[in-house]
Chains A and B, each alone.
Chain A
Amino acid sequence: MSENPSTTSAGETSMDRRRRTKLRLNASMVIGAVLIFVIVALALVSFVWTPYDPSVVDPVARLQAASPEHLFGTDKFGRDTLTWIMYGARITLMVGIVAVGIAVLIGTPIGIIAAVFAQYPWGVWLSAVIMRANDILLAFPALLLAIVFAAVYQPGTGPAMVAVGIAAIPGFARVARSGTMQVLGSEYVRAAKASNRSAPAIAIVHVLPNIAGMVIVQASVAFAISVLAEAGLSFLGLGTQAPVPSWGRMLQESQQFLSTQPELALWPGLFIALAVLGFNLLGDGLRDRFDPKMEARGNG
């Protein structure tokens, strides 16, 4: 049976589809992108300018509410909350980038290799071993891994990032594997084989570009998870250490003033929520664009 019966209809339907998916560049994607832009902008501006120096302690101005001088108020040492939020955005983004980077760079090749091996009679068991090892990793909670890392090394941003990254590997491996299997079954890969292309060349030239969409979607969701994980780890004291500003630690420090100065918890909490929401919305929007199943929906 032909793999893709709906495609016989016409070239222009696929163009229609493309246009339609573009129209669906929908609200969720736009909102997500805007939120992320705001956070990235905060982080970038913090390199050039912040309202105050984050490390300057001002006992006179401690625990102030929002005012023209301190838009978001101040903490127990009189440090400006807005400044800390801006600095915190750096850590948040860095953790996300490094953790997702680790996961993409390790997970994606694992998935592709597993799928390619599975094609050969000699590679079926090898592929199975890779994927089962992957499943074992999947069963390991990121937080537990981070606690182990913090215990073995020192608690800090570095080990936290690596732990979160490693925990995200299995997701990428699975997405890459299923995407690769789809691509390898396609006629254009058969054509490439008939053109004498080697397996590595096919993996790079055909598989990678065609699974990129799925990997990007996964990356944006993983980014949201790692932002949350970093905040959680810092909250527990296993992530970013004082005096480096971090949203998770701000949240933790605000606990003791929750009844008197709830604003202190509000700002870091709000920004964590916005960052996570932003990446999740972006992921949803991207999925609409890249997921073949969603694409097929509008096919006439």
Chain B
Amino acid sequence: MAENLLEVRDLTITPAGAEAPVLHDVSLSLAPGERVGLIGESGSGKSLTAQSVMGLLPEELRAQGTVSLHGFAGNVLEAKEKTLAKMRSDLVSMVFQEPMSALNPLMRIGDQIAEVLRIHGEVARGDIPGRVLDLLTSVHMPDPDSARYAYPHQMSGGQRQRAMLAIALANSPRLLICDEPTTALDVTVQKHMLDLIAERVAAVQAGLLFITHDLAVVAGVCDRVIVMYAGRIVETGSVHQIFTDPQHEYTRGLLASSDLEATDAHGKLFTLKTALSYAGPVDGAGSGEMPGHTNEAEPVNEAEPVKADSTAAGGPADVRDPASASARETGAADESAPLIDVSGVSKHFRSRGLLRRRSPVRALDDISFSVTSGQRLGIVGESGSGKSTLLTILSGLDRPTSGRVRVGDIRVESASAPALRSLREDLQIVFQDPFASLDPRMRVEDIVSEPLTARGMAREERLARVEEMLLAVDLDTKAMRRYPHQFSGGQRQRISIARALVTRPQILVADEPVSALDVSVRSQVLNLLTDLVDDYALTLLFVSHDLGVVKHLCSDVIVMKDGHIVESGATEDIYANPREDYTRKLIAATPSLAGALASIT
């Protein structure tokens, strides 16, 4: 065996005071220049593994085993902080998930890169500015010269992550660890970032340990994949082998639930559970979830009839031209009149600058569309496109600068307080982050019944409704007395959905409800949403940056960019023949298993 760059042997990590280890006998190795993906859901121990390699484990955790790095004498786990600091400067560096919190907000980007070079001390002082410029150029920073003088908050998320990468690569480390480096980024940026990481790592011939929960992401970047589950490594293999011939049940489940284009016999997305029952290689649906058995194009077609079905259920579901929907009179009872009518809505924010001349930010600019009852409308766009602002205005949490919004027979933009109250009886929201949208100090029963409490319903009746709703979202009624922190992300999002539906609204507005969830949980929540939308005959407005999710769930789609509607129409049409470049770009950038597989074969 040739000298490995990284060698982890029997790494076991136990929290102080706990019996059971959170990481069991993890062993892995990485050859010089090799690129390895470490995959698993949150809590699987992938980040702990990475932290042990960096010598960054929190003190409360006891680690056993050995971590050795080529060029570092001894066991990283037992090394002194001083030698570790040297190691981090010479051998290993890391790119974190959230570039905004990993960069110092009070230091210019150029200075932060220079600092790393200075501490390392291999570049002569006079050469540092030149080297900083080289590094920024090498990560394809737009306008690298002036980027040196920018503060982190003046940059976009993608630019910040580029700067992070420049810092991480400044001293040509032998090993680069990336911990979910693209999770906080837009899809369009994600693709570039992944390509860039692969390119730079190859250029400096460093090893790469790439941590993610999303299988679709690793294919283009890594040679080999390590799958972790519940603190153990369950499977190791080449990307191709993992994608086409996964051995472990969990890997199969992960693969199946990552694939938003494959559905099981009931038209549902695969979850970890159902994937196990469809794992047989002869099963027709099974081959859909695992492309490569036959050919790559097939799974898309297989999902088609199911989609067409759901579109039919949505009725005459086309996004109408607002001019034709001029009927703004009160009368939502009329089946043909749209339920939601938005015309010419603009929202401008005045940025408060003390010295800078302030020009209003146009978050929304002349937006018009309408939604009929029972329609499922997806709103797609990257961050900053105004999709969340649009939701806030629709739900009456904010008022538009100009334009008209009608929901049912309520004119939202000029609604009085009582009218807003009755609007909220009919329109409920599921928020993006299930960790932030539930009050940590309230019991689940109080959280879910909050809309009913606001209505003044008696406690008994409230609790009965809550119980019913929790069952509808597949949660145990025992959950009622617990607090949010006792639940996982997926369960919390169910609680959030239960709260939204407890008033029996007609319209459900979901703001990126699955973007903060693990891939394996995502499909469960999406299936649940689909069921509930059917059962409760809901009109759904679904905001997402992930086209795959929208494609599965929505009959129609609006593509937004910089506060404008770029394109709108039936989901199928938009996917089959996007008219606009931007839409095409979005579709191309969305990571999909089929695409990932195509790229490696």
A-to-B contact residues, CB < 8 Å: 1-16, 18-20, 23, 186-188, 190-198, 201, 205-206, 209-210, 298, 300
A183 and chain B: residue at smallest CB distance: B439
Q: Cα distance A12–B489 when bound, in Å?
A: 9
Contact residues in A for B376 (Cβ distance below 8 Å)? none
Judged by a CB distance under 8 angstroms, whether B58 is at the interface is yes
Q: Which residues of B contact A192 (CB under 8 A)?
A: 439, 450
Cβ–Cβ contact A195 & B424, under 8 A: yes
Partner of A194, one of B428, B435, B488: B428
Contacting A at CB under 8 A, from B421-439, are 421, 424-425, 428-429, 431-433, 435-439
CB distance from A176 to the nearest CB of B (A): 16
Q: Is the CB of A9 within 8 A of B60?
A: no
Contact across chains for B15 and A11 when beta carbons are under 8 A apart: no
Report the separation of the CA atoms of residues A11 and B516 in the bound assembly, to the nearest whole angstrom. Answer: 12
User: Closest approach, in angstroms, between the C-beta of B415 and any C-beta of chain A?
Assistant: 13
The answer to whether the Cβ of B395 comes within 8 Å of any Cβ in the partner chain is yes
Picked from B436, B451, B488, the residue with its CB within 8 Å of the CB of A187 is B436
Complex contacts, B397 vs chain A, CB 8 Å: 190, 193-194
Structural contact, B441 and A298, CB atoms closer than 8 A? no
Contact between chains at A300 and B51 (CB < 8 Å):
yes
Most chain B Cβ neighbours within 10 Å, of A2, A7, A18, A206: A2
> Would A188 and B485 count as touching, CB distance under 8 A?
no
Our pick among A23, A186, A205 for the contact of B16 (Cβ within 8 Å) is A23
Cβ of B252 within 8 Å of any chain A Cβ, yes or no, is: no
Beta-carbon contact of B455 and A196 below 8 Å: yes
Spot the interface stretch: B96-104, B302-310, B574-582: B96-104
Scoring B residues 376 to 398 as 1 if CB is less than 8 Å from chain A, else 0, what string do you get? 00000001000000000001010
List chain B residues, Cβ under 8 A from A14.
435, 485
Cβ 8 A contact of B487, one of A2, A11, A197: A11
Decide: B485 and A187 in contact? CB cutoff 8 A. Answer: no
Q: Are B485 and A8 in contact (CB under 8 A)?
A: no
Of all chain B residues, the one with the shortest Cβ separation from A15 is: B485
Please tell me if the beta carbons of B395 and A194 are within 8 angstroms of each other in the complex.
Answer: yes
Interface 1/0 per residue, B90-108 and A, CB below 8 Å = 0000000110110000000
Q: Report yes or no: B489 in contact with A11, Cβ–Cβ below 8 A.
A: yes
24 interchain pairs, CB-CB under 8 A: A1-B157, A3-B436, A4-B435, A8-B183, A8-B516, A10-B43, A11-B435, A11-B492, A12-B43, A13-B42, A18-B485, A23-B16, A191-B437, A193-B397, A194-B395, A194-B397, A194-B424, A194-B428, A195-B451, A195-B503, A196-B454, A197-B453, A298-B60, A300-B48
A191 B433 Cβ-Cβ under 8 A: no
Contacts of B142 in A (CB 8 A): none
In Å, the complex CA distance between A6 and B47 comes to 13
Do B454 and A188 touch across chains, with their CB atoms under 8 A apart? no
Q: What CA separation (Å) do A210 and B397 show in the bound complex?
A: 22
Enumerate the 10 nearest inter-chain pairs by beta-carbon distance, A residue then B residue, closest first: A10-B42, A195-B451, A7-B435, A209-B441, A196-B454, A5-B98, A187-B436, A187-B437, A188-B439, A11-B488
B437 surroundings in chain A (CB, below 8 A): 187-188, 190-191
Are A196's CB and B489's CB within 8 A? no
* Chain B residues closer than 8 Å to A18, beta-carbon distance: 485
Classify the secondary structure of A's interface with B.
helix
**What is the bound-complex CA distance between A124 and B309, given in angstroms?**
52
Q: Is the CB of A206 within 8 A of B439?
A: yes
Query: Within the complex, what minimum Cβ distance (angstroms) separates A300 from chain B?
Result: 6
Partner of B15, one of A5, A9, A19, A201: A19
Contact in complex: A16, B499 (CB < 8 Å)? no
- Chain B nearest CB, measured from A45 CB (Å): 36
Q: State A178–B440 Cα separation when bound (angstroms).
A: 18
Contact check: which of B17, B48, B433 meets A2 at CB < 8 Å? B433
User: Which A residue sits closest to B502, measured CB to CB?
Assistant: A195
Measured between C-beta atoms, what is the minimum distance from A62 to chain B in Å? 56
Among B101, B183, B442, B503, the most chain A Cβ lie within 10 Å of the Cβ of B442
Among A1, A5, A187, A205, contact of B431 (Cβ-Cβ < 8 Å) = A187
Q: How far is the CB of A118 from chain B (nearest CB, A)?
A: 14
Listed residue (B446, B454, B503) with the most chain A CB atoms within 10 angstroms of its CB: B454
Residues of B within 8 A of A1 (CB): 100, 157, 383
Known: A5-B184, A187-B431, A191-B429. Contact between A197 and B439, CB under 8 A?
A: no
Q: What's the minimum C-beta distance from A152 to chain B, rounded to whole angstroms?
A: 43
Q: In the bound complex, do residue A10 and residue B488 qualify as a contact, i.e. CB atoms below 8 Å apart? A: yes
Contacts of A20 in B (CB 8 A): 58, 60
**A residues near B42, Cβ cutoff 8 Å:** 8-13
**Is there contact, CB below 8 Å, between B97 and A5?**
yes
Report yes or no: A298 in contact with B433, Cβ–Cβ below 8 A: no
Are the CB atoms of B424 and A9 closer together than 8 Å? no
Closest chain B residue, CB of each to CB of A299: B58
State the Cβ distance, A19 to closest chain B Cβ, in Å: 7
Q: Tell me which of A16, A23, A198, A210 contacts B439 (CB under 8 A).
A: A210
Contact status of A191 and B431, CB under 8 A, knowing A4-B436, A8-B516, A196-B421: yes
Question: In the complex, A81→B556 CA distance in Å?
Answer: 84
Assembly CA distance A8 to B499 (angstroms): 21
The minimal Cβ–Cβ distance linking B413 to chain A, given in whole angstroms, is 16
- Select from chain A the residue with minimum beta-carbon distance to B392: A190
How many Å lie between the Cα of A147 and that of B439 in the bound state? Answer: 45
With both chains docked as a complex, state the minimum distance between the C-beta of A131 and any C-beta of chain B, in angstroms. Answer: 18
Chain A neighbourhood of B453, CB < 8 A: 197, 201
Alpha-carbon distance between A197 and B421 when the two chains are bound, in angstroms: 9
Given contact pairs A198-B454, A300-B47, A8 touches B433 in the complex (Cβ within 8 A): yes
* Residues of chain A lying within 8 A (CB to CB) of residue B15: 16, 19
Q: Which residues of B contact A6 (CB under 8 A)?
A: 98, 101
For window 511-566 of B, CB contacts with A under 8 Å fall at 516
Q: Mark B42-65, 1 if CB is under 8 A from A, else 0.
A: 110001100100000010100000
Most interface-central of A5, A12, A13, A209 (chain B CB within 10 A): A5
**A208 (CB) vs chain B CBs: closest residue:** B441
CA distance A5 to B183 in the complex (A): 10
Known: A19-B15, A23-B60. A7 touches B51 (CB 8 A): no
**A209 nearest in chain B by CB position:** B441
Most buried by B among A14, A197, A300: A300
- Contact check, B485 vs A11: say whether CB atoms are below 8 A apart: yes
Q: Which of A8, A9, A201, A205 contacts B442 (CB 8 A)?
A: A205
B 472-488 to A, binary, CB cutoff 8 A, 1 in contact else 0? 00000000000001111
Cross-chain contact B429 with A194 (CB below 8 angstroms) = yes
Residue in chain A with minimal CB distance to B153:
A1
B488 to A, closest residue via Cβ? A11
A-facing residues in B164-190 (Cβ within 8 Å): 183-184
B100 adjacent to A210 (CB under 8 Å): no
Chain B positions 446 through 471: 1 when the CB is less than 8 Å from some CB of chain A, otherwise 0:
10001101110000000000000000
**Complex Cα gap A73–B316 (Å):** 95
Cα distance, A13 to B4, chains bound together (Å): 32
Interface centre among A6, A11, A186, A300 (most CB of B within 10 A): A11
Distance from B419 Cβ to chain A, minimum over Cβ atoms (Å): 12
In the complex, the chain B residue whose C-beta lies closest to that of A17 is B485
Q: Residue of A at shortest CB range from B440?
A: A210
CA–CA, A11 and B383, complex, Å = 25
- Interface 0/1 of B393-420, CB less than 8 Å to A: 0010100000000000000000000000
C-alpha spacing A300/B17, complex, angstroms = 18
B425: chain A residues within 8 A (beta carbon): 196
A194 nearest CB neighbor, chain B only = B429
Q: Write the chain A residue with the least CB distance to B441.
A: A209
